Structure 1
């Protein structure tokens, strides 16, 4: 059995949860499927299901961040597969994200870019031929 079996939930932090919810809803084209406020637990967390595997993208009010977690920019770069890196980057910038790293060819079939969202989180995008190979092997799609 593999120790890391797949991404379960990616959590991002925001000082203004409502603004972050609106921004990500606009970017993703969907509303969150879960809200702690709607569940009667007070405002603090929203969660989206996105992508080919319905991964969970959670946004948490920064006041609930673990002690010692940096409040500035930074952290790991999680790359989300996209079909058009340049086009997606243009859209992210138009929505108010700040360029971290422009379109970069990493090798044949691997292109990345990254931004800082308006809430200080790093968001990576990538065209990854291996992602498409795995996806194609599971359901015949390409």
Structure 2
């Protein structure tokens, strides 16, 4: 079901400050830069900044597993005892995500992102 790790999303209370810092650290500009989400491509992985992040409720950064079909992955995870936490969201460009909460309380993200190696065309 999982194609491998794809993305880590850091909460960014001050998106401008976070974007400036990560751009300097990574030495590249973001490939996706919107007020609601900033994403960097880093050697086949994505480092993302979310101004609506989850740090305030203790969830912190969220890691996303690459999947070929977000709906199927959510159905499988829920079928195995997870609870849907955030419904499938389409960000455009073929990028779709969802979050479930595993029985142990951790958030598990799944992402369809055709812009990364190993993703189905």
TM-score by length of 1: 0.42
Q: Name the structure with the higher helix share.
A: 1
Asked which structure has the greater RCO (Cα within 8 Å, sep 6+), the reply is: 2
- Structure number with bigger Rg: 1
Q: Name the structure with the higher strand share.
A: 2
